[in-house]
Amino acid sequence: MREPRTEAAVLETARGGILRRGIAVSRADVAVVTNISSDHFGEYGIDDLAGLADAKLTVAALLDAGGLLVLNADDATLGSKAGQLPQRLRVMPRLGWFALDADAAPLRTHRERGGATAGVRDGHLVVEGAGRQDDLGPVSALPLAIGGSARYNIANLAAAALAALALGIPAPTIAGVYARFGSQPGDNPGRMMRFNLGGVEVLMDYAHNPDGLRGFLGVATQLRRPGSRLAVLLGHAGNRRDADIEQVSQVVAGFRPELVVVKEIASHLRGREPGELPRLIRAALLRAGLPAQAIEMRETELDAARCALDWAHPGDVLGLLVHSPAGRSAVLAMLESRARGSASGA
């Protein structure tokens, strides 16, 4: 932030950092809150969605009179909390709303009042405001949208477009970036990285809460063909409640994968005993109706990914949920090695 040549900085202000240490900057031109979902409950006095929303909306206090607060109109908690901002901040910040449907009622109302919105209309991502409309391209052609199946990425693109426009980035520049960003695995490391190994569709991500898992596995399901099978890697961090472990296991079991490889994440034990979390996850999967023969146990993320890859046949879809940086590097190296092997074999 002290670099004089800096023109813009994009900072993730995670809820944990806000609650532990506050926010390192004193002002911002734009603040974005993408969604509020059940995660990290029981930490730092946050026990429900309302409290989590209050923590995340702290970023609104950084905005000056000309700043823009970008919010998700599809998130009921944010919709409710937005109306309370004047009491909290003594002023209502300028708002930009996004949603999957560009003509959702909150967006129409906001535009009628002169506000900026972003969403999807007739298969195109559009941003609107001040009497102007910009088409950012067909959703089906945006790499991050994966043919339109990655709905949460479509929402993220809408939010980012509102933020970029507020920073003075022209709409054609945004559209050009959206048309190519996400086409290469290195564009968005660790998030929705997609590979094809000898006909096996491989997705790698680090989704870890129920909403993130539903979105990720929804994409994986869309990629399945008749007769293909689904495998998922599943582990978690030790600083989650047993109820959280139960919930994410139920979400995964609900997609009826033919294989779940339960993994230990040694770097994420966070107070748990080695082996404790995998045992809890396995028991939760069984309670959710997954048959025992569909569950494998592995001690590392790399071993878990190798197990899924060795099991897969052409046409199958693998959802590799890899959480630790070291595990991600090791799995990526293995995927690249296998890709080279597939290419030389062909």
What is the rounded CA–CA span in Å between residue 345 and residue 335? 15
With beta carbons less than 8 A apart as the criterion, state whether 280 and 235 touch: no
User: What is the CATH superfamily name and number for domain 15-183?
Assistant: Mur-like, catalytic domain (3.40.1190.10)
Domain-by-domain residue ranges, the chain? 15-183, 186-345
Residue 324 to residue 203: CA distance in whole angstroms: 16
pTM of the complete model: 0.84
Report the sign of the C-alpha dihedral through residues 53, 55, 59, 64, in that order: positive
Q: For 238-285, list the strands marked E by DSSP.
A: 259-263
The rounded distance, in Å, linking the Cα atoms of 70 and 16 is 20
pLDDT in tens, 141-158: 999 999 998 999 999 999
Q: Which tokens in the block code for residue 343? A: 């290419």
How would you classify the pairing of strands 132-138 and 124-129?
antiparallel
Residue located via tokens 């680090």: 206
* Residue-level length of the chain: 346
pLDDT for the residue numbered 346: 55
Question: Of 209, 150, 220, 215, nearest to 181 (Cα)?
Answer: 150
Percentage of the residues of the chain whose pLDDT score is greater than 90? 70
Q: Please state the rounded mean pLDDT for residues 104-127.
A: 97
- Residue 130: pLDDT over 90: no
Look at residue 75 in the predicted model and tell me its pLDDT: 94
Quickly state the pLDDT bin for 202 (edges 50, 70, 90): very high
pLDDT at position 45: 73
Burial, 178: exposed, middle or buried (Cβ in 10 Å; 0-12, 13-18, 19+)? buried
Separation CA 256–CA 50 (nearest Å): 32
Sequence-ordered list of residues with C-beta below 8 angstroms from that of 83, at least 6 positions apart, any chain: none
Is residue 103 within 8 Å of 121, Cβ to Cβ?
Answer: yes
First to last CA, the chain: 49
Residue 40 has pLDDT above 70, yes or no: no
Examine the pLDDT at 32 and tell me if it is beyond 70: yes
- Asked if 196 and 202 touch (Cβ cutoff 8 Å), the reply is yes
**Residue of higher predicted confidence among 318 and 239:** 318
Residues 6+ apart with CB under 8 A from 56: 15, 18, 33, 36
The CATH T-level fold of domain 186-345 is: Protein-Tyrosine Phosphatase; Chain A (3.90.190)
- The answer to whether residues 54 and 81 touch, using CB atoms and an 8 Å cutoff, is yes
Beta bridge partners of residue 30, listed in sequence order: 68
What integer pLDDT is reported at residue 44 of this predicted model? 67
Give every strand in the sheet of 124-129, ordered side by side: 28-33, 63-72, 94-101, 116-121, 124-129, 132-138
Query: Considering only 83-87, 120-124, 192-196, which range has the smallest mean pLDDT?
Result: 192-196
In the predicted model, what is the mean pLDDT of residues 288-308? Answer: 96
Q: What is the mean pLDDT of residues 334-344?
A: 79
Average pLDDT, the chain: 92
What does the pLDDT average to over 283-302?
96
Phi, psi of 66 (to 5 degrees): -95, 0
Task: Determine the Cα–Cα distance for residues 285 and 300; give it in Å rounded to an integer.
Answer: 19
- pLDDT for 345 equals 60
β-bridge mates for residue 119, sequence order = 126
Cα 107 off chain centre by: 23
Residue 16 has pLDDT above 70, yes or no: yes
Average pLDDT over residues 82-109: 95
253, burial (CB in 10 Å: exposed 0-12, middle 13-18, buried 19+): buried
Least Cα distance to 116 among 96, 93, 136 occurs for: 96
Query: pLDDT digit string (tens) for 267-292?
Result: 888 889 999 999 999 999 999 999 99
Residue-wise pLDDT tens digits, 304-318: 999 999 999 999 999
Owner of token pair 């599809």: 74
Chain position carrying tokens 């693109």: 157
Residue 197, beta-bridge partner list: 200
- Round to whole Å and give the CA distance between 30 and 160: 10
Q: Are 215 and 151 in contact (CB under 8 A)?
A: yes
**For residue range 250-266, what is the model confidence (pLDDT) as tens digits?**
999 999 999 999 999 98
